[in-house]
């Protein structure tokens, strides 16, 4: 069982086989359409080379900028944090904007353009200036004696200056390089602002330095001096734009904060007036503070009241115990526990009482002591009784004092409770008024702070853009991009070629391999006949099965014969009709080689050339065309006279004979059916080579006497629509289709993809 699982794992899946077949299909398309692919690639390379051959050397000057995150405008000495690199994307778009680049155009006078080499702009136009409202136009510079004349397009002079003087035009000013040759008039143009901005934008390159918050600004042009000046100009314009934007924002913020500050100031005055009015009306400064003091006093008074009430309860219990006389010692112990705070001198009285009782016990307990009625004992009893009375009196006196204090404490609590009763409502109202005052005051203080910050920012804001590295004039041109351009052109050309090849392939209706044939017919290809390389062969050389040596072609027809033998094992087809959709699809090659393969296996075989319009089968066998089947049908000759016997194998051939004017009537006649029926009894196999079915109807009338048909197709020739229509007609006539044969198949494709294995052990096929 494990071995079976391992073997299953090593077998390719159906999806892999389909994917491989699809890949090979595309490879075949590219091979067939290789001239389209090659032409597109060559055209793209030539086009790229033509564009690059006259390219002027370019010079790139770069500026490195850093944008800092905004900090507090009052903390001018603080180091601002570096900007998040993700925010740089927004700044790159700002750098490309018209708001920034228009400043470069204005400062460098780039609206003025001269018809000179781009690499010489800064060496021709010196310090050009163009006013903002100057209209676009074209002008000419020419020399007149020792002067330079500025003219309009009609030739009218606009200004005339000396060789080294500054030229003043309508809305623009500039100076020419001294000694400039003006033998030919020099054309000047004033561009529209949008045009000049687009020119600069086309020279501009921006990128974020990977992993940092730095921005690299580059200007590429043929003039190195111009590149450096323009790059620094972009950086300066960007700084001015950010500073101006910050100042404008600060101004708008100051104005807004100022308006809000005035409104809040009025609200502050109203809130303070309301607080003063309440204090005057309630005759209190802050009821919250007063309520706190009263609440604390009430809490203390209530605590004192509860303590006195507890002490009063204790004394009352002690007094009850002493008065009852029961458990007297327990009452005396309670007196001692209460201590001197509730009962003054209670400890001394208790000690004296304990001493008297101890002395009495000593006198009465001894064997020789006093009796209960003895004089010494009676004295001690009277002293003990007096001590108890004293303790009782002290307890009653202390209870009276506690009760007086308890009454006074209750009165104090009631007074405080009455005073606190009105304070919560007063405190709530005061709290609301005070909160309103605090809120308004806090808002006023915050707005005041922001107002002063905005004033400072408006006065000192210089933007948050820092030039880390200014642009310098590049000394060497940029590296050549010719190799990269040619490679990109080649890639694009190949892609276009692939697309064009696929489009042409889609529009091409010819079948190019077995897969195309199977898709068009809906049937399996039962035999793939290899291509015979020598196209100049004579027709009789196409009978490859006559060669004694085994070749891919002969083996293909023998395999076809074997396939037909097992197609219908119970009743093999005897009368086989070979046809094609159109002319030139190799049906005669199939008929001759298949019949000879049958004869080589010892089967008595009859092959009849039934193409009565363009017969060629006799050329394959080297036999005469006439007399043939038509001569037999018109009773000119006998069937034996029209038959040609193969010298080596049991094969009989009957040619087409004299070409008739009515082929359909002859092949559809009862005489022809009789000849075929007689051949069934005489021969093991009968092969009928018929005319193309989609061209003429000769083949259709012979379908009813055939046991099956073989459809012949040819690589790069058979039309898939015609083949599909042919199969449809055959299926409608309910004629058994024995199989589809593909002629001139290329071994390199069929051997690897369809499993036939032609060429194994035979070497190259040259017959």
Q: Residue 767's pLDDT band (boundaries 50, 70, 90)?
A: very low
Of 127, 110, 117, 116, the C-alpha closest to 167 is 127
31-40, 122-131, 338-347, 741-750: the lowest-pLDDT one: 338-347
Placement of tokens 């096929």 in the chain? 765
Q: CA-to-CA distance for 394 and 381, rounded, in angstroms?
A: 20
pTM of the model: 0.46
Q: CA-to-CA distance for 55 and 164, rounded, in angstroms?
A: 34
pLDDT of residue 3: 46
Q: CA-to-CA distance for 529 and 174, rounded, in angstroms?
A: 84
Q: Indicate the burial class of 158 (C-beta count within 10 angstroms; 0-12, 13-18, 19 or more).
A: middle
pLDDT of residue 535: 41
pLDDT of residue 649: 87
- Whether cis (ω within 30° of 0) applies to the bond prior to 11 is no
Yes or no: say if 618 and 656 are a contact pair by the CB < 8 Å rule: yes
pLDDT in tens, 614-651: 999 989 888 998 899 998 988 888 888 889 998 888 99
Per DSSP, the three-state class of 534 is: coil
pLDDT of residue 329: 60
**Residue 154 reports pLDDT greater than 70:** yes
Q: CA-to-CA distance for 400 and 194, rounded, in angstroms?
A: 109
Sign of CA dihedral 127, 133, 137, 139: negative
E-only strand ranges, 531-669? 575-580, 605-609, 643-645, 651-654
Q: Residue 231's pLDDT band (boundaries 50, 70, 90)?
A: very high
pLDDT of residue 501: 82
CA 561 to chain CA centroid, nearest Å:
59
Mean pLDDT of all residues in 103-130: 80
User: How much is the CA Rg of the chain, to the nearest whole Å?
Assistant: 62
Share of the chain above pLDDT 90, in %: 12
pLDDT of residue 16: 61
Q: CA-to-CA distance for 514 and 764, rounded, in angstroms?
A: 22
Mean pLDDT of all residues in 78-102: 76
**Residue 654 reports pLDDT greater than 90:** yes
**Residue 186 reports pLDDT greater than 60:** yes
205-219, 279-293, 307-321, 599-613: the lowest-pLDDT one: 279-293
Q: CA-to-CA distance for 756 and 754, rounded, in angstroms?
A: 6
pLDDT of residue 536: 39
Query: Which DSSP helix (H) or strand (E) runs through 488?
Result: helix 482-507
Yes or no: say if 185 and 141 are a contact pair by the CB < 8 Å rule: yes
Most confident listed range (148-162, 175-189, 491-505, 753-767): 491-505
Q: What is the mean pLDDT of the chain?
A: 79
End-to-end CA distance of the chain: 50
pLDDT in tens, 314-340: 778 877 877 776 555 665 666 566 555
Per DSSP, the three-state class of 667 is: helix
pLDDT in tens, 389-427: 877 788 888 888 888 888 998 888 887 777 666 666 666
Mean pLDDT of all residues in 644-671: 90
pLDDT of residue 419: 66
Q: Residue 448's pLDDT band (boundaries 50, 70, 90)?
A: confident
CA 357 to chain CA centroid, nearest Å:
107
Residue 567, CA atoms < 13 Å, CB-side half-sphere = 22
As given in the structure block, the two tokens for residue 364 are: 């009465």
| 147-152 and 137-144 strand pairing | antiparallel
Placement of tokens 């204790």 in the chain? 314
Domains located in the chain, CATH noted: 16-57+481-507 (no CATH), 113-190 (no CATH), 516-527+543-743 (3.40.50.300)
Tell which wins on pLDDT, 541 or 247.
247
């Amino acid at each position: 069982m494990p071995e079976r699982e391992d073997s299953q794992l090593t077998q390719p899946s159906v999806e892999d086989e389909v994917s491989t077949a699809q890949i090979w299909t595309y490879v075949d398309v590219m091979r067939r359409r290789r001239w389209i692919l090659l032409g597109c690639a060559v055209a793209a390379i030539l086009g790229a080379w033509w564009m690059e051959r006259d390219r002027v050397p370019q010079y790139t000057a770069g500026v490195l900028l850093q944008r800092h995150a905004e900090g507090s405008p009052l903390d001018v000495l603080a180091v601002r944090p570096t900007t998040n690199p993700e925010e740089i994307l927004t700044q790159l778009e700002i750098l490309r904007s018209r708001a920034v680049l228009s400043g470069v155009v204005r400062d460098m006078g780039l609206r003025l353009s001269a018809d000179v080499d781009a690499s010489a702009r800064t060496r021709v136009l010196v310090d050009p200036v163009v006013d903002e409202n100057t209209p676009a136009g074209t002008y000419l510079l020419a020399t007149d004696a020792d002067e330079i004349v500025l003219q309009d397009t009609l030739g009218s002079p606009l200004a005339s200056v000396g060789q080294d003087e500054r030229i003043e035009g309508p809305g623009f000013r500039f100076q020419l390089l001294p000694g400039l040759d003006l033998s030919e008039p020099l054309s000047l143009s004033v561009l529209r602002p949008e045009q000049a901005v687009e020119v600069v934008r086309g020279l501009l390159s921006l990128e974020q330095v990977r992993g940092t918050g730095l921005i690299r600004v580059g200007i590429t042009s043929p003039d190195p001096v111009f590149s450096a000046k323009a790059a620094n100009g972009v950086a300066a314009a960007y700084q001015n734009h950010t500073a101006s934007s910050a100042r404008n924002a600060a101004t708008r913020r100051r104005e807004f904060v100022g308006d809000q500050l005035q409104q809040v100031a009025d609200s502050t005055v109203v809130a303070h007036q309301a607080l003063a009015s309440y204090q005057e009306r309630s005759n209190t400064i802050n009821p919250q503070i007063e309520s706190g003091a009263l609440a604390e006093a009430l809490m203390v008074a209530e605590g004192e009241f509860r303590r006195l009430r507890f002490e009063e309860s204790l004394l009352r219990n002690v007094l009850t115990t002493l008065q009852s006389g029961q458990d007297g010692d327990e009452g005396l112990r309670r007196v001692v526990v209460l201590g001197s705070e509730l009962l003054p001198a209670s400890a001394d009285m208790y000690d004296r009482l304990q001493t008297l009782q101890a002395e009495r016990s000593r006198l009465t307990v001894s064997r020789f002591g006093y009796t209960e009625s003895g004089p010494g004992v009676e004295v001690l009893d009277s002293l003990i009784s007096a001590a108890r009375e004293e303790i009782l009196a002290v307890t009653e006196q202390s209870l009276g004092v506690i009760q007086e204090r308890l009454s006074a404490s209750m009165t104090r609590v009631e007074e405080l409770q009455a005073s606190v009763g009105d304070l919560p409502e007063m405190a709530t109202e005061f709290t609301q008024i005070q909160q309103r005052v605090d809120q308004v005051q806090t808002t006023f203080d915050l707005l005041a702070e922001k107002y002063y910050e905005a004033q400072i920012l408006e006065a000192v804001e210089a933007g948050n853009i820092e030039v880390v590295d200014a642009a310098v004039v590049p000394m060497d041109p940029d590296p050549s991009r010719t190799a990269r351009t040619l490679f990109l052109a080649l890639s694009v050309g190949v892609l276009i070629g692939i697309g064009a090849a696929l489009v042409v392939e889609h529009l091409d209706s010819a079948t190019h391999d077995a897969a195309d044939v199977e898709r068009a017919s809906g049937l399996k290809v039962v035999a793939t006949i290899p291509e015979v390389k020598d196209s100049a062969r004579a027709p009789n050389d196409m009978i490859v099965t006559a060669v004694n040596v085994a070749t891919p072609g002969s083996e293909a027809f023998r395999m076809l014969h074997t396939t037909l033998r097992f197609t219908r094992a119970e009743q093999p087809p005897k009368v086989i009709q070979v046809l094609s959709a159109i002319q030139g699809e190799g049906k005669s090659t199939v008929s001759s080689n298949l019949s000879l393969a049958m004869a080589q296996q010892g089967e008595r075989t009859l092959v009849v050339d039934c193409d009565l319009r363009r017969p060629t089968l006799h050329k394959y066998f080297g036999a005469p065309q006439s007399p043939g089947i038509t001569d037999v049908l018109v009773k000119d000759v006998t069937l034996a006279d029209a038959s040609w016997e193969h010298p080596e194998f049991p094969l009989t051939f009957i040619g087409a004979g004299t070409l008739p004017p009515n082929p359909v009537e002859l092949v559809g006649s009862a005489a022809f059916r009789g000849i075929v029926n007689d051949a069934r009894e005489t021969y093991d196999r009968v092969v009928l080579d018929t005319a193309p079915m989609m061209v003429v109807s000769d083949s259709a009338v012979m379908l009813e006497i055939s046991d099956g048909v073989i459809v012949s197709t040819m690589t790069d020739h058979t039309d898939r629509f015609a083949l599909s229509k042919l199969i449809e007609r055959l299926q409608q006539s309910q004629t058994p289709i024995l199989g589809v044969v593909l002629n001139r198949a290329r071994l390199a494709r069929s051997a690897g993809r369809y499993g036939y294995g032609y060429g194994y052990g035979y070497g190259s096929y040259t017959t």
